[in-house]
Structure formats: structure tokens, C-alpha cells
């Protein structure tokens, strides 16, 4: 019987993972939390409603409810797959977020804006779930890593409305979305680089002629040298 080897960027179930692999997805996850509360700065919300001709109830449904529902769906996928496929899930989720943010920033009507919030919410949920699942696999450091990410996440949630209020007052509500492109692109590049490094550094055991992997030297039974 052949021993199954992990493929792509998948990690064996019990393997401890490096904390630095969380840099890219972590940046995107924090951006996703910012995107959750960001639209609710007073100036931003009013400008959005006037610009897209939305009632306050419609704006709330499109901005908050659509984002939360799609984020919940993405989060379930992220938690289920992120521990083993952080790079794959992270890159796909960040791509959804970038597309969604661009649609929101350039929206000329309610339909485009709603589509953008759904896509960015789906991506944000996916990358947050994947980051949380992967953080539990960094060994004894996972508590500290989780605490740092949680603290930064709360800060992103709190600062979102204030940052967007300032941007909306000085420029436009659209800038609250546009400024997220920089951390998202940085997160995408970092996730791709860390995934490539993980792929290069993972060396599965080499099978012998019978198809069975050689055990580590310290686990092999001792045999006497020939001639003794």
C-alpha cells in the first residue's frame, strides 16, 4: 500500500505550521474586519445614500446584512479548509475582496454596490476563517498569535467608521474602499510568497522500491554490521 503524501500547499493533519505564513492572510483578515464597520461613519453613510439614491433601510441591508451573510458562508469554508490549505484559500479570498472593493468604489447603482459587498464579504469571511484555523496549528505559540490577531481585529473594527468619516468628509465615501486596495495587494503578495516558501520547504519522505516511505534513521531497527 502506498503512503498518501500531501499535495500542493496542504499540510499533514498533525504538522506544526510556521507563524510567518499568517502574515499575508492576517493583513487581509484585518482589512476584512475594517470593511465590516467602515461604511458606518456618519458622513460616509449619508454620502453613500445620496450618491446611489438609497433609503437608509436599503443601505443598511446592502452594506451590513449582505456582508455578514456572505462572510458567514465564506467563514465556514475558511475554517474547514484553511488549516490545511491556507495559501489556496487565502489567495482566492483576497482576490474576491479586491474585486468586491473595486465594485464598491466604482459603483454607479445599487446592484453593483450590492455585488461588491457580497464578494468582499465572502472573501473576508474566508480569509478570517482560514487565518483562525491556521493560527491553531502554529504550536505552543498559537495562543499569543491568536491574541495579537484578535486585538488588532478589534482595533480595525473600532477605527473603521472614524477613518471613513474623515475620508468621506475630505474626499468621498469611495475612498474608504479604495484605501483597502493597498493592504489587500500586500496581503496577496505575502500569501503567495509564503505559500511558495512552504511548498519548497516541505520535503515528504521518499518511497523505497516497494512503495513504502523510509522511516527516519532514529526509528529504524538496529542491525549488526556485516561480518560481526
Question: What confidence tens digit (pLDDT) does each residue in 96-123 have?
Answer: 999 999 999 999 999 999 999 999 999 9
pLDDT at position 32 is 93
pLDDT score recorded for residue 78? 86
213, part of any domain? no
**Can you read off the three cell numbers belonging to residue 160?**
473603521
Residue whose C-alpha cell is 529504524: 220
Percent of the chain with pLDDT over 70: 76
Q: Is the residue at 225 inside a domain?
A: no
Residue 214 included in any domain: no
Confidence (pTM):
0.76
Question: Tell me, what's the pLDDT at 118?
Answer: 96
Host H or E run for residue 224: none
Give me the domain span that covers residue 130.
Answer: 19-198
Q: Is residue 219 part of a domain?
A: no
- d(Cα 190, Cα 24) in Å, to the nearest integer? 5
Average pLDDT, the chain: 80
Report pLDDT for 180: 95
Under the banding of pLDDT at 50, 70 and 90, the label for residue 186 is very high
Q: What's the pLDDT at 33?
A: 92
Q: Is residue 64 part of a domain?
A: yes
pLDDT score recorded for residue 123: 95
Q: Which residue has the higher pLDDT, 31 or 41?
A: 31
Q: Give SS3 for 2.
A: coil
In tens, the pLDDT along 191-211 reads 999 888 877 876 554 455 455
Domain count along the chain: 1
Say which CATH number the domain at 181 has.
Answer: 1.20.1250.20
Residue 97 within any structural domain of the chain: yes
Q: Quote the CA–CA distance of 195 and 173 in Å, as a whole number.
A: 35
Residue 83 resides in a domain: yes
Residues in a beta bridge with 207? 213
Q: How far apart are CA 228 and CA 224, in angstroms?
A: 7
- So what's the pLDDT on residue 219? 53
Amino acid at each position: 500500500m502506498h503512503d498518501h503524501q500531501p499535495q500542493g500547499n496542504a499540510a499533514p493533519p498533525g504538522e506544526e505550521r510556521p507563524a510567518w505564513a499568517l502574515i499575508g492572510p492576517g493583513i487581509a483578515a484585518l482589512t476584512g474586519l475594517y470593511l465590516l464597520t467602515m461604511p458606518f461613519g456618519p458622513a460616509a453613510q449619508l454620502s453613500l445614500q445620496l450618491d446611489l439614491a438609497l433609503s437608509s433601510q436599503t443601505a443598511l441591508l446592502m452594506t451590513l446584512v449582505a456582508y455578514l451573510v456572505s462572510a458567514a458562508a465564506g467563514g465556514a469554508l475558511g475554517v474547514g479548509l484553511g488549516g490545511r490549505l491556507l495559501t489556496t484559500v487565502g489567495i482566492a479570498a483576497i482576490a474576491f475582496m479586491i474585486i468586491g472593493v473595486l465594485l464598491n468604489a466604482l459603483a454607479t447603482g445599487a446592484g453593483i454596490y450590492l455585488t461588491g459587498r457580497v464578494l468582499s464579504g465572502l472573501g473576508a469571511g474566508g480569509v478570517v476563517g482560514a487565518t483562525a484555523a491556521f493560527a491553531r496549528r502554529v504550536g505552543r505559540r498559537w495562543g499569543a498569535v491568536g491574541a495579537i490577531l484578535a486585538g488588532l481585529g478589534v482595533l480595525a473594527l473600532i477605527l473603521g467608521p472614524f477613518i471613513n468619516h474623515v475620508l468621506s468628509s475630505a474626499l468621498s465615501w469611495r475612498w474608504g474602499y479604495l484605501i483597502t486596495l493597498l493592504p489587500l495587494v500586500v496581503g496577496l503578495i505575502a500569501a503567495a510568497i509564503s505559500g511558495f516558501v512552504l511548498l519548497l520547504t516541505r520535503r515528504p519522505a521518499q518511497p523505497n522500491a516497494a512503495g513504502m516511505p523510509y522511516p527516519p534513521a532514529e526509528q529504524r531497527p538496529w542491525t549488526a554490521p556485516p561480518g560481526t
